[in-house]
Amino acid sequence: MVVKAHHRRTRQRGLTLIELVLATAISAILLVSINQLVKLGLDAQSAGRGNNELAFQGRVALERMADAARSSTPTVLTTPPANSTGNWFAPAMYCRTASNQLIETIATDTTCTGTSVIASNVTAFSASVPASMGAVDRSAAVLSVTLTDSANNSVALSSSIRLGGGTQ
């Protein structure tokens, strides 16, 4: 009697442990990569939003000062005290406080203690008479403001103004 060897073929059902571990590892690597890309995008969006908010706040403050300049009588401007417009827009004055706020106060307030805040996060403020103008037009000035928030987003803005004559 001849015995035939009967080869049994078995079908594999499911995954082996090695295949499952490899698939899990590859999926984890892909998810970490995607997570990093999403985080970069969200960080960029947040920084952009911070810069936009600072720029808006700075533009509003500069526009408010330009409005005061337009309604002021043209006068010969002298260099004001640091962080202040001095008496340029009398009776109003704009100055930066020690707590980094730009405030509107009265021209006689030499200590800058007014309470009308027009911008926060102001790290620098200056009012200057352009040197290039010389004696030709001493009623023109440049106002500059730099704002920086807690996330170190920073925006620097400036505006040329003319007392009694609008913006340049």
pLDDT digits (tens, 9 = 90+) for 63-122: 999 888 888 877 778 888 899 998 888 888 999 999 999 999 998 888 888 889 999 999
What pLDDT score does 168 carry? Answer: 47
Integer Cα distance of 63 and 159 in angstroms: 9
Boundaries of domain holding 27: 19-167
Whether residue 107 lies inside any domain: the answer is yes
Domain count, the chain: 1
Overall pTM > 0.85: no
Split at pLDDT 50, 70, 90, the class of 164 is confident
Whether residue 7 lies inside any domain: the answer is no
